[in-house]
Amino acid sequence: MRREIALLGDIVAEADVVLHHVDECSFERFAADAILSRASLHSLMIIGEASNRIPADVQMRHPQVPWRDLAALRNRIVHDYPGVDLTLVWSLIQNRLKELRDQVASVIEAENIEELES
């Protein structure tokens, strides 16, 4: 279970990095700042890769987290990098990333409690 907790922690940490760096940032600045947008995409790739490595039993216990969507986002960024639409990425960051981060933090708490009870 320690590996799963580490992967879940990676998701939370990367979400925190993105949310911190785009805080009070406009879309125009995000799109114009190649370092910021590329770093955010890199963090989203890490989130997707980590979510893909979460074991199926953990995913099934926590269906509120869009595990498959996160893995699909990672695949899209990696395999169709020129086709990535920054407006969609910005929308995801602004409208879904905080909720995802909180969901995964709740999974960490639940899985830690479950491990302690075992």
Q: How far is CA 110 from the centre of its chain?
A: 18
Query: Which one is catalytic: 2, 74, 76, 96?
Result: 74
The answer to whether residue 74 is catalytic is yes
Distances from the Cα of 115 to the Cα of 49, 93, 110, angstroms? 23, 31, 9
Let me know if 61 is a catalytic residue.
Answer: no
Q: 109 with 6: CB under 8 angstroms?
A: no
Per annotation, catalytic residue among 42, 79, 96, 101? 79
State how far the Cα of 85 lies from the Cα of 93, in Å rounded to an integer. Answer: 13
Residues with catalytic roles:
74, 79
